[in-house]
Amino acid sequence: MLGQLDALARWPPPFAGEADLARRINDSWSAPEPSRGGLLGRAARDAMTPALERQVQFNSALVQLLNGHLEESARVRAHLSELVSTLVQYLQRVLPVMDTRDRVSAGLATTRAELILEAFDRRQEAASRRLEGLLAMRDRLDSLSEEVRALRGAGLPPLADPPAPVVGADATDGALYVAFENAFRGSRDDIRERLRDYLPLFADASPVADLGCGRGEFLELLREAGIEGRGVEGNLHSVSAGRAAGLDVVHGDLLAFLRQQPAGALGGVFAAQVAEHLPPAVLQAALREAHRALRPGGVLVLETVNPSSAAGFFDVYIRDLTHEKPLHPDTLRFLAAAQGFSDVRIELRSPVDAASRLRPIPARDLPGPVADALNENVARLNETLFAPREYALIARR
């Protein structure tokens, strides 16, 4: 572009004869005077004088016009030369700036591309880590599946005639145990409120079997929610109380009750504070029969005492002489998975009142490091001694 402007700035010179022509026109613009000799000359002069005067006027005007045109052409040529020169100088200043801008834009584009690639690399690394975690989880699930298959293949002890759950052998013992529950477990209204949280798990799960239904608190909640429920109870006093309340309760052994149910006939199985009363062989058989009797997607809920909590073990578990064996949450979860249940989880319940827990030491009473160490130990003791007293195993068929 600058080369083109430089070429345009070099104006072509005027044609070679311009200056000489202008001089000649200026020198010859006046007309020659006629001869003065004789009468004939005077007559000719008088006759030609008007024409000569007009010719002189014409020549004078033409010369003035040409001179003005030449001067104006010179001024225009000079002005254009100055304009082109100024434009060339301007472009000489602007073009480096434009070149710098282009280089900066190119550099920024490169930097932006590098940043995008770097962000993409980070996301790819994060996705790779997540994929590795999923693969590790898959491997763990495969390992657990192998363990469960091995357990099933190994078989369980014969359970043709396992001992019945200990829920009261006769009316006298039954009355005594009812009195015991009334004294230590809580009133009917208290139990209803504690069990109400389980209702959403059994929505659209009719019919629901309540194993060891006791006084029928959960059956009442099911009835109020429009969910069909039937209970089995070994204590005659509790059976009578449930039937008096209009509940569907049968007297008998919960394992025999489950075995009587057709495969896939139940939508839910519930048992609150029952599993800890069952001998291990009966518990495993009950889990197996519950899995058989539930339809696909059916829910199993077993609430029991939490022996991993000192408060639960000493305040609840050992108080009841009919408890057979403590059930650690991990143990019950493993047994349910071994019988084929899926989506097995543990939900802690009945937290210990904050007033009963150990209190941290105010930092102002001891030096900072000492108070921190003591309070850390207090927190650990609270987690062990005062963990929730109960837990619920929740699983799906």
> What's the farthest any 2 CA atoms get from each other in the chain?
185
pLDDT of 170 over the 60 cut: no
386 pLDDT tier (thresholds 50, 70, 90)? confident
Q: Cβ distance 304 to 327 under 8 Å?
A: yes
pLDDT at 355: 75
Rounded alpha-carbon distances, angstroms, from residue 262 to 208, 257, 266, 289, 355: 13, 11, 8, 10, 49
Which token pair is 111? 């930097």
pLDDT at 93 over 90: no
Listed residue (341, 343, 352) closest to 387, CA to CA: 352
**Least confident interval from 47-51, 92-96, 103-107:** 103-107
Domain 171-396 bears CATH identifier 3.40.50.150: yes
pLDDT in tens, 257-315: 999 999 999 999 999 999 999 999 999 999 999 999 999 999 999 999 998 887 777 77
Q: Check: pTM over 0.75? Answer yes or no.
A: no
Highest mean pLDDT among 180-194, 295-309, 360-374, 382-396: 295-309
Tokens 């009334």 sit at which residue? 182
CB 275 within 8 A of CB 283: yes
Average pLDDT score over residue span 248-261: 95
* Tokens describing residue 230: 């039937």
Q: How many CB atoms lie within 10 A of CB 322?
A: 13
Of 135-144, 151-160, 265-274, 297-306, the range with the lowest mean pLDDT is 151-160
The whole-chain average pLDDT of the chain stands at 78
Q: Do residues 396 and 201 make contact, with C-beta atoms less than 8 angstroms apart?
A: no
Average pLDDT in the 355-379 region?
A: 75
Distance CA 152, CA 280 (A): 16
Which ranges in the chain belong to alpha helices (H)? Answer: 2-9, 18-27, 38-154, 171-184, 188-195, 217-224, 236-244, 254-260, 280-293, 310-312, 329-338, 368-385
Rounded Cα distance between 328 and 304, Å, is 10
Instruction: Give the whole-angstrom CA distance, residue 369 versus residue 17.
Output: 110
Q: How confident is the model at residue 121 (pLDDT cuts 50, 70, 90)?
A: confident
Higher local confidence (pLDDT), 197 or 360? 197
350-358 own/partner pairs: CB under 8 Å, 24+ apart: 350/194, 350/312, 350/388, 350/389, 350/390, 351/388, 351/389, 352/309, 352/311, 352/386, 352/387, 352/388, 352/389, 356/311, 356/386, 357/382, 357/386, 358/382, 358/385, 358/386
Beta bridge partners of 299: 268, 396
- The domain locations on the chain are 1-155, 171-396
- The residue with tokens 């089995």 is 232
Q: Give the three-class secondary structure for 392.
A: strand
HSE at residue 88, side-chain half, CA atoms within 13 A, is 15
Task: Give the model's confidence band at 167: pLDDT under 50 very low, under 70 low, under 90 confident, else very high.
Answer: very low
Please give the pLDDT value at position 295. Answer: 95
pLDDT in tens, 185-204: 667 888 899 999 999 999 98
Q: Tell me the pLDDT tens digit for each residue of 19-66.
A: 676 677 766 656 566 555 567 767 766 777 777 778 777 777 777 777
Kindly indicate the confidence band of residue 223, based on its pLDDT and cuts at 50, 70 and 90. very high
Dig out the tokens for 374 from the structure: 């003591």
pLDDT at position 228: 95
Beta-strand pair 208-211/294-305: unpaired
Buried residues in 167-189 as b, exposed as e (16+ CB within 10 A): bbeeeebbeebbeebeeebeeee
Pairing of strands 342-349, 390-396: antiparallel
The count of other CB atoms within 10 Å of the CB of residue 201 is 17
Average pLDDT of the segment spanning 359-386: 75
Mean predicted confidence (pLDDT) in 153-167: 45
Mean pLDDT is lowest, of 88-92, 223-227, 387-391, for 88-92
